[in-house]
Amino acid sequence: MADYLVPVHADTPAIDVHWLDRPDPHISEFGARGLGEIGLVGSAAAIGNAVSNTTGIRVHDLPITIDKLL
């Protein structure tokens, strides 16, 4: 497991966003399309790094709560 590579947020290629000018009433009642969770890939890691940089404490499991920092 020491040599197992885990993809991180930096490994995600740039995402090109295209706005569509027509609604799709078959997907939702508002005609909106969703992106899914691809935009949230690095959110938890970024917050964890910010907490670690601020407090000096590395939390390895979520959610990050006050009791884990004390």
Residues tagged active-site = 37
Distances (CA, A) of 39 to 8, 17, 22, 45, 46: 13, 11, 22, 13, 13
Rounded Cα–Cα distance for residues 17 and 34 (Å): 12
Contact 43, 9 (CB under 8 A): no
